[in-house]
Amino acid sequence: MVALNYLTAFLWLVTFAAASPIPDVDRRGPFGPIRFPQIDPRGLLCKLPFIRIICPRGGSSNPTCSTPIGTARGVVDPDGANRYSVKYANANRWQPSTVATTWSLPNGSTNITALPLACPQVNADASSVSEDCLSMILYVPATLHVGSNAPTFVWIHGGSFFVGSANGPGLDGSKLAIATNSIVAVIQYRLGALGFMAPDGKTNLAVGDAINALKFLKNVVPSFGGSTSKITIAGQSAGATMVRALLAAPSASSLFKNAILHSDPMDFGFLSTTAQQNMQSHFNTEINCGATDTACHNALSLSTITDASLELFSSAASFEPSAGMSQPMRPVRDGSLITSSLDSASFPSMSKPVLINTVVNDAGPAIYGNFDEPMGEQMFQAVVFGTLGEDRGDTILSSTHYPLPPTVNGQLDARPTLETMGTDQMWKCPSWTFARNYIQNGGTAYIGVYSVGATYPSNDGVSFCAQNGVVCHEDDIQIVFGTTNSPTAAQSSLTTEVHKRYKAFMNNGNPNPSGVSAWSAATSSNLNAKDLGGSSAIPIGACDPSFWGAAVPYDYQVYP
């Protein structure tokens, strides 16, 4: 029974790719405490004077900018950029959103220092969330002005499409904006059932939200000095899955130039319409509303909806295996908005340059966050078979790719092997397969692996993630944003390098500015994976197409 319980826990863990842990009703889950949006008091401290350069401004330290939809009012962020919070779209419950036509502060606020309330999510305090949550935060260098032709960097937060917000830890875009001379926009979108489980069967509402955020930006960034032809979308974990969904949506193609994906859990593809319908039926039963009973839908309390959303999140894989356990509510290949699966079975012609990044220990929090004691061979075999099934499990165990480490003081600990396998299965190998398919269909792709990171708050309780040389899932976020607290020399160096590379990529689709080592584009014969933070060659290992994807199929191949 103990082995079975550990197996059940592992099935949750090894497939977990969310940017936040899965909660339960007592605010804890098998991955640790859930992280919720925090009200950021930085705006109250924004009293610093600055020079009038960007746009006409109101008095003292409050920047203003005239846009086609009204006057934008902001504050000076403590790290130097001008910060504007704004509502980008409107949406009624379980209806498609529409782009905002007037410049409005989020949530009906009159306080320009206020940051957006998060979208409704489990266990969040009622005062910290709102259904009126389709907002973004803009960070604009004070040196920009109309005609600057600056790029825009759009960040889509992770959280398993279940939790998260634009106010997440480390997502202050001020330093990134100044270092790259770009406008940084951090957006949020509807989560969980409110974003993906409309009772009447409408799909991809949250994807539509992200598209409307891009449309909004197209309209307003010229007023802040931005170019409408240099918009780069980027995201981490579920945010990267959203980026991939936008790459697969023809209607979004004209809205951005380049894309950056950080630790996209590509092992599971987009949901099929059949899987979506199966999950939808289950959800409708939970809320006890008919598909077309809008009066019932609108009468539901947020707590009822989020409770039903949690129940679906927790149970979906038990009745719909293709849903998986990491982000079962996710974009749907509906044939209208999303027309391609973007996997080895369906890949259209591609043209946009992409950066495809993972970290060296993406599975670290999942494995070591649950198994806090050494794992013996018997348990290792149990979780491999339980996760992959008999055929794929046999192939893994008989291969030379995942040898067990040597016994130390008479004790075997298989967790390092399991962590490597989990990272390969969910993140590294499917991402590299995606890159091969992308370039074979006309696109340009650069592959990166972060070997230096900064421990993200959600990983603080995982001792493995604190070890030297370990970079866990999410540990690249603060490197990208330049928000690492008291960075080491290695962290500062990598942040400077990443800012240079991302600035070049945003401007011309190539992450190779002068003064840094060459980052070669992937080819059909050599992926040229770049060690971000070191100089080592990144080995292909098990990520050869003859192993993962063939001998050991990805889950999107097992559950098409």
Helix pair angle (205-220, 238-247), 10° resolution: 80
The residue assigned the tokens 């198994």 is 371
The answer to whether the CB of 544 falls within 8 A of the CB of 436 is no
CA 59 to chain centre: 38
Amino acid of residue 390: E
The 150-156 sheet, strands edge to edge: 75-76, 82-87, 135-140, 183-187, 150-156, 226-236, 258-262, 354-359, 445-450, 530-532
Q: Count the neighbouring beta carbons within 10 Å of the beta carbon of residue 8.
A: 12
Token reading at 106: 């989020």
User: Which residue bears the tokens 């598209």?
Assistant: 211
Catalytic residues: 237
CA 535 to chain centre: 26
Determine the straight-line distance between the first and last CA of the chain, rounded to whole angstroms.
32
CB neighbour list of residue 407: distance below 8 Å, 6 or more residues apart: none
- Whole-number Å distance between alpha carbons of 308 and 199: 12
Distances (CA, A) of 458 to 36, 86, 193, 261: 11, 27, 23, 20
Q: Going by DSSP bridges, is the β-strand pair 530-532/445-450 parallel, antiparallel, or unpaired?
A: parallel
Task: Please tell me the distance from the alpha carbon of residue 28 to that of residue 36, in angstroms, as a whole number.
Answer: 12
Distance, in Å, from the CA atom of 173 to the CA atom of 181, rounded to the nearest integer, reads 11
Q: How far apart are CA 509 and CA 525, in angstroms?
A: 21
Largest CA distance in the chain: 72
